Chains A and B, each alone.
Chain A
Amino acid sequence: MVLALGNEPIDVGELIEATAGPEDGGIAIFLGKVRQETNGRPVKRLEYEAYPSMALRTFQKIAQEARWRWGVERLSIVHRLGPLRVGEVAVSVVAAAPHRAGALEACRWAIDQIKTISPIWKKEIFEQGGEWIQCTHEGVLEAAGGF
């Protein structure tokens, strides 16, 4: 399994290979891609930034929790940083488990967690300028702080 941040395009096939083992019967994959518009406004590109050491720590926490909640022994998270064009993959989650239920649930939960607790930010660049996207902090980050 792989927990990483990087500037290079994500090779999803390679990530699946690196995650799933012979004991895994179910592999769930999530890809987060750059959409062409936000709130009706066309996007030129997104720019991602992270606090790398802390972001990797949150990926480790997510993988660890997936292990004891769903028995998912192998969960990979790769998040790209830097400028991304429309259609590029910004984040990939691969969850591998003996059976499909755990893999699917863990995969969904993991991407929700990444979007809530990981110190990663995206700036949307559109025709007239750029804007840092904000998602709500309330409640959920408190829970993450005690983990």
Chain B
Amino acid sequence: MRVTVKLFASAREKAQANAIEVTVSEEATLQDLLTAMGETCPPLKSLPGRWAVNLNLAVSNQRIHPDDEIAWIPPVSGG
């Protein structure tokens, strides 16, 4: 399935896009997505950060569903 990953801050700058499309299998987890994202967009490989799914932080063994809203969250620095 094709998944859209929203990008922010340093990740957005490295990818030069505020979102990228990544292809993963139907049974993919966020860990799989991380690997696929790094292959699709090498500047994003090995960057520190966390996954957010449907506006909540998520764990890497979580399965992805086609209508999930997925974002890559670099280390935050608000406030």
Chain A residues with a Cβ under 8 A of chain B: 32, 48-51, 53-55, 57, 79, 90-91, 111, 114-123, 132-137, 141-142, 144-145
Contact = CB atoms under 8 A, between A and B. Distances in A.
B75 interface: yes
Interface of B: 6, 8-10, 12-13, 48-50, 52, 55-59, 71, 73-79
A44 to B, nearest CB: 17
Given A121-B9, A144-B57, A145-B56, A91 B73 contact: no
- Do most interface residues of chain A lie in helix, strand or loop, or is the interface mixed? mixed
B75 A120 contact: no
Given A116-B76, A137-B50, 6 more contacts: A57-B55, A79-B78, A117-B76, A119-B78, A121-B77, A122-B77
A54 B9 CA distance: 15
B77 A135 contact: yes
B5 to A, nearest CB: 12
Nearest to B56: A145
